Structure 1
């Protein structure tokens, strides 16, 4: 089960709970802690787009190529995320057969694969450098 970090503003807690339930049904472990996760799912809203902690965590996930953005309505992404347009989940009630949710799950699958591969490369480099006779 891959861990997905949820990034959202406090006023989106109800929607984040729906996301967490749907993620669990799809085999993901949703989390809000700062521990490393295979992917990050950010809910862009007026508040989250200006929240320094959310922006920082989203930038970190973007740098690892594991960020999946969603929005509630036509909320545009913040300036540094304009190239990664969010899937609008306004009106989504947690139904797993919604095509928009299926798209988000496909994006999460790709992101978690990238996240696992980047972690394997990082650990591999650490092991090679630790045991290399040439360092």
Structure 2
């Protein structure tokens, strides 16, 4: 589907060629040669009004199709009055136009089309979806994160220390008490009795 369908009378084919070149230079695709009423499926209908086209039933029918689709952009090649029902839309004035792209009427036509179709893309340009980049952390944030990890580790160590089971001094001191009592009584015990070994193993 072309961007622009150009409707005109056969007598205005030279001007139609210049208009098509103007629009194609902007980046829009234009259908204008051998145009028929069945070709009015373009995104926009540009009608060139002249003393010849205002009396053309085919041009009037194509303009009506564009108006019904809210896609009509009229252009005056001469100071003429379009057919009834097609006069309410302001037309760009190309009367006496020599084909210059910077002429006021040419700039108005381009602006009208841009408002309807949007700006055309330059040739070869491709729109890519935006790439999401993960935000980079500032060095200050890295320092804060490190301090937070150290603090959490310290609190965890303190919690484990507080919740550790208390040592059993009685079991751990059993061998010492036995040795002390033996020394006090003057007895020589070459080996530790079984109960002392059991208490020592439990303490360890």
TM-score (structure 2 length as normaliser): 0.51
- Larger Rg computed on CA atoms: 2
| 2:23 is aligned with 1:23 | yes
CA RMSD of aligned residues (A): 1.8
Is the contact made by 1:2 and 1:112 (CA closer than 8 Å) also made in structure 2?
Answer: no
After the TM superposition, which segments of 4 or more aligned residues of structure 1 sit over 6 Å from their partners? Answer: none
Structure 1 residue 11: Cα displacement: 0.4
Could you tell me which runs of 5 or more consecutive residues in structure 1 were left unpaired when the two chains were aligned: 114-135
SS at match of 1:65: coil
- In the superposition, relative to structure 1, how do residues 94 and 62 fare at CA in structure 2: closer, same or farther (>3 Å)? same
Which one has more relative contact order, counting CA pairs under 8 Å at least 6 apart?
Answer: 1
Give the Cα–Cα distance (whole angstroms) in 2 for the partners of residues 79 and 42 of structure 1: 14
- 1:50–1:105 distance in 2 versus 1, CA, 3 Å: same
> Residue in 2 aligned with 1:11?
11
SS in 2 for 1:28: coil
Q: Which runs of 5+ in 2 are unaligned?
A: 119-204
TM-score by length of 1: 0.76
1:26, CA displacement in angstroms? 0.7
